[in-house]
Amino acid sequence: MLTNADLEKMVETTDEWISERTGIKERRIADADTATSDLAAGAVARACRQAGIPAAELDAIIVATSTPDTVYPATACWVQARLGIAGNAAFDVSAGCSGFLFALELASNLVAAGTARRVAAVGAEVMSKVVNWDDRATCVLFGDGAGAAVCVEGDGRSGVLASTWGCDGSLAPLLYQPAGGTRLPTSLETLERRQHTVHMEGNKVFKHAVRAMSDSASRAMALAGVTMDDVRLLIPHQANTRIMDATRARLNVPTDKVFTVIQKYGNMSAATIPVALDEARDEERIRDGDIVVMTAFGTGFTWGASVIRW
Ligand code: UT7
């Protein structure tokens, strides 16, 4: 665990600044020898146990991540191997912090279409390995983690009721990792310039995030034919308490309907929503039949929202 007090010793920052500007108190950091697939495999195994389904019976594993184990193959392939299974489909979705909702949308539609019977959607990140630990504007924000959900054929009572998603690629340079791809391959120069780390114009991202997350949630709720009165819990992507609060205010949602874990984990990008979903269920903030709205925003820029009945 890395606390704000620990960060005070690493960069010029204070617990007060981080707490007030972001709501983060601590975050989890993976060991040096832990990769994204290790966390993701643990999350899939846990979700399968809870669903009462052996991992070997999954028809597909979809991993949402911006911090893959390797450029190729997909992290989902490493996850499959780590789970000791083979033969089922395994691929990644790259949609930044919106990634888990994109993966869930794919998983749910594969099952609804009859293409697959059981699909795991995973959000997993080891952000700590792509953060510039000398840049106080970004290094205090992120944490590592993973969460997963298994979509199965059901009786039509629970599942994804409606979703919306989108992207505006013209805004990509506001939040990205410049080097390591074919645009700017790894070289001594890119390493010296720390171009393999998160580059973000936080202020601009902030404004887009609030609008996109609230608009997406409204649209998905309209598509599902529900209002905020019907909703038990809103789980926004957890990048910043102020972003979540502004989103909540635009949606006219009371504070007690918003579930947050950012104080404990920081921004875990694609892992944030599934981890929050899991904790909300553990704490019995979600029960069978409840309607939950999840909304996210991330690099791309991408955005999306899903309304589910638990
Ligand atoms: O996951 C999806 C994508 N990411 C996000 O959604 C993140 C969106 N952005 C944010 O959450 C916020 O913009 C931040 C938390 C990143 C920054 O908060 P802000 O209120 O937008 O602060 P700022 O960037 O405008 O910086 C304000 C001041 C600056 O000092 P000056 O220029 O006013 O003297 C920064 O240098 O705060 C300074 N600062 C810090 N001070 C202490 C920046 N980082 C730190 C720090 N500790 N860690």
Q: Domain spanning 2-156: which superfamily?
A: Thiolase/Chalcone synthase (3.40.47.10)
226 burial via Cβ count (<10 Å: 0-12, 13-18, 19+): middle
pLDDT in the model for residue 198: 97
User: From ligand 1's centre to the CA of 129, what distance in Å?
Assistant: 20
Amino acid at 303: W
Q: Is the pLDDT of residue 139 over 90?
A: yes
Q: What is the mean pLDDT of residues 236-241?
A: 97
Q: Is the pLDDT of residue 155 over 90?
A: no
pLDDT (tens digit, 9 = 90+) per residue, 30-48? 999 999 999 999 999 999 9
Cα 191 from Cα 179, distance rounded (Å): 8
210 burial via Cβ count (<10 Å: 0-12, 13-18, 19+): buried
Cα 197 from Cα 174, distance rounded (Å): 13
User: From ligand 1's centre to the CA of 43, what distance in Å?
Assistant: 31
**Catalytically annotated residue among 4, 88, 240, 267:** 267
pLDDT in the model for residue 199: 97
Q: Where in the chain is the domain with CATH 3.40.47.10?
A: 2-156, 160-309
Q: Which fold has domain 160-309?
A: Peroxisomal Thiolase; Chain A, domain 1 (3.40.47)
Cα 135 from Cα 78, distance rounded (Å): 31
- Put residue 303 in one of left, alpha, beta given phi > 0 → left and psi -120 to 50 → alpha: beta
Kind and range of the H or E run holding 225: none
Determine whether the shortest distance from the Cβ of 298 to ligand 1 is under 6 A. yes
In degrees, rounded to 5, the angle at the alpha carbon of residue 71 between the alpha carbons of residues 65 and 77 is 65
User: From ligand 1's centre to the CA of 13, what distance in Å?
Assistant: 11
Sign of CA dihedral 309, 147, 140, 3: positive
Determine whether the shortest distance from the Cβ of 242 to ligand 1 is under 6 A. no
Determine whether the shortest distance from the Cβ of 36 to ligand 1 is under 6 A. no
Using DSSP bridges, classify how beta strands 118-126 and 60-64 pair: parallel, antiparallel or unpaired: parallel
> Is-catalytic flag, 240?
no
- Give the residue, by CA position, lying nearest to ligand 1 atom 28: 137
Ligand 1 atom nearest to CA at 136? 48
Q: What is the mean pLDDT of residues 258-278?
A: 98
- Put residue 106 in one of left, alpha, beta given phi > 0 → left and psi -120 to 50 → alpha: alpha
Q: What is the mean pLDDT of residues 255-260?
A: 97
pLDDT (tens digit, 9 = 90+) per residue, 191-233? 999 999 999 999 999 999 999 999 999 999 999 999 999 999 9
Spacing of C-alpha 120 from chain mean position: 14
User: From ligand 1's centre to the CA of 37, what distance in Å?
Assistant: 30
